[in-house]
Amino acid sequence: MSTPRREIALLVNPTAGRGKGARYASLAAPRLRDAGFDVRLLQGTSAEEAEALARGAVSDGCHALVACGGDGLVHLAVQALAGTDTPLGIIPAGTGNDVARYLNISRTDPLAAADRVVASRRRRMDLARCGDRWFVTVLAAGFDAIVNERANDMTWPRGQMRYNLATLAELRTFRPLHYTLELDGETRTLDAMLVAVGNGPSFGGGLRITEGALLDDGFLDVVIIKAMSRPELIRTYPKLFSGTHTTHPAYEHHRVRRVTVATPGIVGYADGERFGALPLTIECPPLALEVLL
């Protein structure tokens, strides 16, 4: 009797990474088929349709849901996978690829990433949850969120340069924000440049804002960058890429299971996606996601 073939649901964002999504999927799919998997290609015409396709594949009992795209597509896939035993695989094809960075998956070789899926070694990791929505990396809720908002409204240039220009534009007028935070039931009010809530250590292509965050400790890492002058912010911002901002006097770090972040007029971004207007309450269901290593 022949062995039943297992099905991989390959969720693709063809436009990710300026077309890398489509190219990488065309390379990864044959590698998965050669390893004995059936491959079901999922490609929605909108984020809503793609998420519905992902949920359908998980409901049908696929062996794994594999996201071929960037962190935004991983974010979408996680909405279907959180709390289930179906694992997430990743073929990184976006600009940031922070989740792939967390899991040490090659961000330049789609065949090596596909081989990780074929090997099917599993582990569980934490997620962050706000209501019925989930995220994997970091919730940005301050200066970095405002930069995201501006960048999303820009049509030129493409890629990382758009965010660099948005950062420079916002620096001209940005003022510290007044926050109310609730950290595991303890309320604080303060002025700060940003508050970030991390499940993992980085976002935005390696911006290590929540340096030291662990993926399986059941805690969220809340980082506060307290009020500082614009020149000081400009000097400090590059340190976020190396994680050396943690020694700055304006840096404050808390490890909590639940946090509420409130400040007027700010929309939070998580996994690089528009997540919701503050206030937001985030908690950390431990080991809520199965991933393929």
At residue 103, the pLDDT reads 96
Query: Residues 91-149: pLDDT tens digits?
Result: 999 988 999 999 999 999 999 999 999 999 999 999 999 999 999 999 999 988 888 78
Q: By CB neighbour count within 10 A (0-12 exposed, 13-18 middle, 19+ buried), where does 189 fall?
A: exposed
Instruction: Give the distance, in angstroms, between the CA of residue 92 and the centroid of all CA atoms in the same chain.
Output: 12
pLDDT band at residue 1 under the 50/70/90 scheme: very low
Examine domains 6-120 and 135-286 and report if their fold is the same.
no
- Three-state secondary structure readout of the chain: CCCCCEEEEEEECCCHHHHHHHHHHHHHHHHHHHCCEEEEEECCCCHHHHHHHHHHHHHCCCCEEEEEECHHHHHHHHHHHCCCCCCEEEEECCCCCHHHHHCCCCCCCHHHHHHHHHHCCEEEECCEEECCEEECCEEECCHHHHHHHHHHHCCCCCCHHHHHHHHHHHHCCCCCEEEEEEECCEEEEEEEEEEEEECCCCECCCECCCCCCCCCCCCEEEEEEECCCHHHHHHHHHHHHCCHHHHCCCEEEEEECEEEEECCCCEEEECCEEEEECCEEEECCCCCEEEEC
Q: Is 3.30.70.20 the CATH classification of the domain at 6-120?
A: no
pLDDT higher than threshold 60 for residue 211: yes
Query: Residues 152-209: pLDDT tens digits?
Result: 777 777 666 777 788 888 877 788 999 999 999 999 999 999 999 999 999 888 889 9
Minimum mean pLDDT range among 29-38, 74-83, 95-104, 232-241: 232-241
Give the whole-angstrom CA distance, residue 4 versus residue 61.
13
Domain boundary assignment for the chain? 6-120, 135-286
pLDDT band at residue 73 under the 50/70/90 scheme: very high
At residue 160, the pLDDT reads 65
**Mean pLDDT of all residues belonging to the chain:** 93
Q: Is 2.60.200.40 the CATH classification of the domain at 135-286?
A: yes
pLDDT band at residue 4 under the 50/70/90 scheme: very low
pLDDT higher than threshold 60 for residue 87: yes
At residue 152, the pLDDT reads 74
At residue 56, the pLDDT reads 98
Closest CA to 220 of 198, 193, 235, 241: 198
At residue 3, the pLDDT reads 40
Model pTM score? 0.93
Closest CA to 142 of 240, 218, 73: 240
At residue 158, the pLDDT reads 66
Q: What average pLDDT score do residues 245-257 get?
A: 97
